[in-house]
Amino acid sequence: MPLLPVDPNLAARLANYEIDDRARLILREMAPFVERELDAAIEAVIAGAVRLIAVAALYKAKGNKFRQLEGA
């Protein structure tokens, strides 16, 4: 299955992270494995962030929004 065109705004980020079409294909193949673990990984990041003084209040107040955005 061919890759979909990339929005120009995203293309700059992909180039910055050196994610070419080959890497995109590999990431697409990995997606089913990542999706199974994604919710747990997001929860772990939020749980860790609430222990960081600089961002704890933000994550406590906006944790649900972070979950929503990261899941999307």
**pLDDT, tens digit, 9 for 90 and up, residues 15-51:** 999 999 999 999 999 999 999 999 999 999 999 998 9
* CA separation for the pair 28, 22 (Å, rounded): 10
11 and 28 in contact (C-beta within 8 Å)? Answer: no
Q: Flag whether pLDDT at 72 surpasses 90.
A: no
| pLDDT score for 70 | 87
pTM greater than the 0.75 cutoff: no
